[in-house]
Amino acid sequence: MKTSIEAQRKASDELVGDGYDFGYHVTADPLVRYLRDRRLKAGLEQLRRRGALDPANQSVLVVCGGAGGEGIMLRREGFADVTVSDLSPATLEVCRELDPELKTRCLNAEAMAELADGSFDLVVVQDGLHHLPRPALGFTEMLRVARTAVILIEPHESLVGRLIGTEWEVQGTAVNYVFRWNGSFLKQVTLSYLLRDRATVLPRRLWDHNLAVGKLVRRCVPGRWRLPAAKAVYAALTPFNRLGNMMVGVVLLHDPSAAGSKLPAARTTG
Ligand SMILES: C[S@@+](CC[C@H](N)C(=O)[O-])C[C@H]1O[C@@H](n2cnc3c(N)ncnc32)[C@H](O)[C@@H]1O
């Protein structure tokens, strides 16, 4: 287990050493912004609809946050207190260069023991947990350190994923199995860990392939029509979202002792 986690750290550090260009995280190009940010915006929208979104007053922890893509987007959405965590110190250094206002922490998402229970209002992951040897453990750590909600954006179990999706990702000497979630699994992992029947689990499913859609519109559509074309592609796929390849899962944590709970007093998680 340690070897695979070390390999992930090394692969990310080496990516930085090789001069990988993380500029797309800060670009204002509307097409890139739309393609990169739409899933996290969908997660935030779920919180907003339930009255659980308050960027000015909520702290956020991004897990497996790399060079800060999600952190930078969240700051642009008005969050003042954003911490990006990752396993790779070199990647976090890039993150601080891209946005010096972001806080960073070097953390293994599977073992964030140095963070107390409920230390952040929101805890977010995007395209990260499937790099872990134990994605469900990483997710329960996120539940543990969250006070208000968790947003999980990861591949969804799907026919398309099974037929043509990547099963094993390889980067340098690091290999990871692409773990795909579904609504039932998300709910079971959440409730069995929290022991709260009043946690709300919202497993939204949608289509997302930002690289392919970006390539398609850049190749086939002239400049100013690219953003509308990308939006049109996803609008056309919307009726088929229940077959989608991506999970935008939101868990809203409720007070276990709130009226209406069928459970006895909750245990302390940890
Ligand atoms: C595909 S990148 C995604 C980064 C970022 N979320 C994004 O979309 O730009 C996956 C990230 O997970 C990090 N990672 C892999 N295993 C990890 C672990 N056990 N704990 C924390 N971060 C990890 C890697 O260092 C890498 O930065």
Task: Report the percent of the chain where pLDDT is more than 70.
Answer: 93
> Which residue bears the tokens 């946005």?
99
Tell me phi and psi for residue 208, to 5 degrees: -150, 125
Whole-number Cα distances in Å, 76 to 28, 56, 58, 80, 252: 11, 11, 14, 9, 23
> Which residue bears the tokens 């935008």?
248
Do 201 and 251 touch, CB atoms closer than 8 A? yes
Taking each helix axis from N to C terminus, what angle separates 135-145 and 183-194, rounded to the nearest 10 degrees? 50
pLDDT score for 153? 98
Q: How far is the CA of 222 from the centre of ligand 1 (A)?
A: 34
Indicate if the alpha-carbon torsion angle 61, 67, 70, 71 is positive or negative: positive
pLDDT score for 15? 94
pLDDT score for 257? 52
Sorting pLDDT into bands at 50, 70 and 90, what band is 264? low
Q: How far is the CA of 152 from the centre of ligand 1 (A)?
A: 13
Q: What is the mean pLDDT of residues 30-42?
A: 98
Sorting pLDDT into bands at 50, 70 and 90, what band is 36? very high
pLDDT score for 268? 40
- The candidate with the shortest Cα–Cα distance to 139, out of 247, 59, 40, is 247
DSSP character at residue 98: H
pLDDT score for 254? 75
Residue nearest to atom 11 of ligand 1 (CA): 64
Task: Name the β-bridge partners of 62.
Answer: 84, 124
pLDDT tens-digit map of 40-85? 999 999 999 999 999 999 999 999 999 999 999 999 999 999 999 9
> Which residue bears the tokens 């891209």?
98
Whole-number Cα distances in Å, 38 to 7, 106, 116: 30, 26, 31
Dihedral angle of Cα 208, 55, 107, 126, to the nearest 10 degrees: 0
Tell me phi and psi for residue 168, to 5 degrees: -120, 125
pLDDT score for 197? 77
Residue nearest to atom 12 of ligand 1 (CA): 64
pLDDT score for 216? 97
Q: What is the mean pLDDT of residues 254-265?
A: 59
**Residue 249: alpha-carbon gap to chain centroid:** 9
Give one DSSP letter per residue of 172-238, joined into a string. TTEEEE---B-HHHHHHHHHHHH--TT-EEEEEEE---HHHHHHHHHHHS-GGGHHHHHHHHHHHHG
Sorting pLDDT into bands at 50, 70 and 90, what band is 160? confident
Is the pLDDT at 262 greater than 80? The verdict is no
Is the pLDDT at 265 greater than 70? The verdict is no
Is the pLDDT at 255 greater than 80? The verdict is no
Q: What is the mean pLDDT of residues 179-186?
A: 97
- The candidate with the shortest Cα–Cα distance to 120, out of 94, 97, 151, is 151
> What mean pLDDT is reported for the chain?
93
Residue nearest to atom 26 of ligand 1 (CA): 66
- Find the residues whose C-beta lies inside 6 A of ligand 1: 5, 8, 12, 64-66, 69-70, 86-88, 91, 108-110, 126-128, 131-132
pLDDT tens-digit map of 96-127? 999 999 999 999 999 999 999 999 999 999 99
pLDDT score for 3? 83
Do 107 and 84 touch, CB atoms closer than 8 A? no
Sorting pLDDT into bands at 50, 70 and 90, what band is 267? very low
pLDDT tens-digit map of 211-251? 999 999 999 999 999 999 999 999 999 999 999 999 999 99
Domains of the chain listed by start with CATH number: 2-207+243-252 (3.40.50.150)
